[in-house]
Chain A
Amino acid sequence: MARTVFHEEFCKGCGLCIEACPKKILAFAEHRLNHKGYQAVDCLRPEECTGCAICARTCPDVVIDVYREAGQAEGS
């Protein structure tokens, strides 16, 4: 089990994380904007997240923190 935390106020809605996610579980939030007016991003199926952190490494604005269960190998 892994978990992502979006520091949404840093987000500029570029969507690179959505494109990069290998599980395709990220999407723009339909009805939520941040204070800059950009569309926020949600993890649609958090239970499928492997904690690979590819979204976080692709994000130009360091929006995403990634947590992984202790002992869990990368991407599993």
Chain B
Amino acid sequence: MEEKLVFSRPEALTDMPTHYCPGCHHGIIHRLVAEVIDELGVRENTVGVASVGCSILAYDYFNVDMVGALHGRAPAVATGVKRGRPDSVVFTYQGDGDLAAIGTAEIIHAAARGENFTVVFVNNAIYGMTGGQMAPTTLDGQRTQTSPAGRDPHLAGHPLRMSELIATLSGPSFVTRTAVNTPARINQTRKAIKKAFELQLAGRGLGFVEVLSTCPTNWGLGAVESGQWVDSHMIPYYPLGVFKED
């Protein structure tokens, strides 16, 4: 019987096992970015910028040139890389504790300037690496290490909807929010990431792909239950969809 390999590890991922917790969606999102890089044939020409957070070790996992940025500063570093080497394909890979907290200024201004790179923003509504503290994206009422009774909006305000915020600016060419908790959404997310990369290749400006993700360990849920929690809690506050498309 003649058979063909229809699915395997993309070339743009290294062979290193990730340090992510069981069921964490980072691995899926890494793979989707790698698949897009392979599909577009830009692996030798791509520079990724890793954030601080669980995804800080992304430079070990992506088989492309990587830069580690200071906390929140990935869009500023990516601006420098892209302006210095305009022929390279540049992406940042940032979590919500990075992009939506200490890095809010950097992403807002990079987006306002319409910098020509791709942002993959992984939102799991909590600080993962540091042990499950409340993030700006933590949902109202969500229990974390620093909001043990649930986030109180009178004290902490309401969570930031970054995609909606970024979409108000004229710089970005594409702003979307997706999830990866079902097979169909995984495919949609890959298409969204691909579109953002293609817009960059066409010189159209910043593409911003927010991906709702899980943190089974710090949410205190199993891997499958975490996927269901994305449906029951995250999507009602963080609706999926395209918020800006030029």
- Which A residues between 13 and 68 are near B, CB-CB below 8 angstroms? 13-16, 19-20, 38, 51, 53-54, 56-62, 64-68
Which residues of chain A come closer than 8 Å to B187, judged between CB atoms?
Answer: 57
A-B residue pairs in contact (CB < 8 Å), sample of 20? A3-B3, A12-B21, A15-B224, A16-B23, A20-B183, A38-B22, A53-B7, A56-B7, A57-B183, A58-B183, A61-B20, A62-B13, A65-B8, A65-B9, A66-B7, A67-B3, A67-B6, A68-B4, A69-B3, A69-B4
**Residues in B lying within 8 Å of A, measured CB to CB:** 1-10, 13, 17-18, 20-28, 31, 183, 186-187, 216, 222-224, 227
How far in angstroms is the closest Cβ of chain B from A46?
13
The number of inter-chain residue pairs (CB within 8 angstroms) is 82
Residues of B within 8 A of A65 (CB): 5, 7-9
Asked if A19 and B224 sit within 8 Å, CB to CB, the answer is: yes
**What's the nearest-Cβ distance from chain A to residue B20, in Å?**
7
- Chain A residues contacting B26 (CB-CB under 8 Å) are 60
Using CB atoms and an 8 Å cutoff, list the residues of chain A in contact with chain B: 1, 3, 9-10, 12-16, 19-20, 38, 51, 53-54, 56-62, 64-70, 74
Q: Are B24 and A66 in contact (CB under 8 A)?
A: no
Partner pick for A61 among B2, B10, B18, B224, CB 8 A cutoff: B18
Shortest Cβ distance from residue A68 to the other chain B in the assembled complex, whole angstroms:
5
Q: Report the Cα distance A54→B182, complex, angstroms.
A: 10
Report chain B residues within 8 Å CB of A58. Answer: 28, 183, 186
| 7 further interface pairs, Cβ-Cβ under 8 Å (given A15-B23, A67-B5) | A15-B224, A19-B227, A58-B28, A61-B18, A62-B31, A66-B6, A70-B3
Tell me which residues across on chain B come within 8 A of A51, comparing CB atoms: 6
- Expressed in whole angstroms, the Cα–Cα distance for A11 and B2 within the complex equals 28
